[in-house]
Structure 1
Amino acid sequence: MNTPSHFPLNRRRLLCGCAGLATLSLLGCGQRGDATTSAPAEIDAQSSCSLDGMQLSDYPGPKGQIRYAGVAEVQWFCDSVELLSVLLAPEQVRAVVSVHVQDMGQADWDQPRGHWIDARQALYVLGSKRHGSMGPTAASFAAEAEAQAFVQQYGGRLLRYADIKPEMVDLSGGALHDTRM
């Protein structure tokens, strides 16, 4: 039996309505996520390394953080070498929303807080005499003049992010222990 209706529900109208709701849902999620999850977080007493559980506040040297798409929690790294090793790993397939390291031209080496910069825009000094939480580290800088001054004082080799290869930040120690850099 066919009953008259003011708004007949047919297949086309149902599909268009569902597609419209899905589109609005996706648009809302994208706008909210981009605005709130790309800003760097600040280290607190509970911040611990995602790889080994070390408390970030207990160790010197540059720290790092990655925010992955679809993951609410910041992934912390107690050393910039750990962050670069994960970020540059060929098997890294998770979508990165943002990645930050500390500007060691501004932050206190022994108790670094704040001064976050985009890790992919940073300059790095590898092979210096300064050590981070895991030993030899990649000192990160926003300004080339500060990085050059660091090289003059502590040695090492200045590199741009794009010039760092995975084998240079291998966590087994490899290139980081090379005193010829």
Structure 2
Amino acid sequence: MIPRRQFLLLAGAALVLSACERQPDQVIAAAEIEAGSTCDLDGMLLADYPGPKAQIHYQGDAQPHWFCDTVEMFSALLKPEQTRPILAVYVQDMAKADWDQPRGHWFDARKGFYVQGSKRHGSMGPTLASFTSAADAQAFAGQFGGRVLKFADVTPDMADLSGGAQHDGRM
């Protein structure tokens, strides 16, 4: 039998070690686009193009991975080979951001509403306009066409990049 003092020391050490392993959920703040921020997929300067932008924060990476278009973000997220742990995903609220030069207004992409098939184009042509509220997404769809989707409703087919900028299949 272990003496009481030794038992208490071992129990205390185990408690300290288990507390070290548990870390509170990290809150990752959205980064801001800078003059030199480039898209991870194609190297385009984000600040030079219209439409909603996106950023993915992967575990183990200090900097976000930027996307010049929400379609590119969904393409990256929905690939079956995407297994990297994701800490946060942000897109811009296009009810608040200027379409032609969007800055700021980041929110959790998983909580958003998206308009597919509108007349408004992003940096890569047809895009998924992002909004924090269903009402704003509906208003946008009423003005520019398209249909409103929740994050979980976006499918890999909707984020297919095989056709290039116009998604026309000729690339």
TM-score bracket for this pair, using the shorter chain length: 0.7 to 0.9
Matches within 5 A, 1:80-99: 80-99=70-89
Alignment equivalent of 2:40, drawn from 20, 38, 50: 50
Which residue does 1:126 correspond to in 2?
116
What pairs up with 1:103-122 in 2 under 5 angstroms? 103-122=93-112
In the other structure, the counterpart of 1:77 is: 67
SS of 1:168 mapped into structure 2: helix
Max Rg structure: 1
> Which residue is 1:139 aligned to?
129
Given that 1:127 and 1:177 are in contact with CA atoms closer than 8 Å, whether structure 2 keeps it comes out as: no
Please give the TM-score of this superposition, normalised by the length of structure 2.
Answer: 0.83
Instruction: Give the 3 Å change call, closer, same or farther, for CA 107–164 of structure 1 in structure 2.
Output: same
Distance (whole Å) between structure 1 residues aligned to residue 123 and residue 113 of structure 2: 19
TM-score of the aligned structures, taking structure 1 as reference length:
0.79
Kindly, what percent of the aligned residue pairs are identical? 59
1:34 is matched with 26
Deviation of the 1:23 alpha carbon: 4.7
How large is the Cα RMSD of the aligned pairs?
2.3
Structure 2, unaligned runs of 5 or more: 1-8
Q: What's the CA shift for 1:90?
A: 1.5
For structure 1, list consecutive stretches of 5 or more residues without a partner in the other structure.
Answer: 1-12
**Partner Cα separation in structure 1 for residue 15 and residue 59 of structure 2:** 24
- What letter matches 1:69 in structure 2? Q
Give 2:149's aligned residue. Answer: 159
Output the CA distance in 2 between the equivalents of 1:115 and 1:125.
17
CA deviation after TM superposition for structure 1 residue 26, in Å: 3.6
| Deviation beyond 2 Å, 4+ runs, structure 1 | 19-27
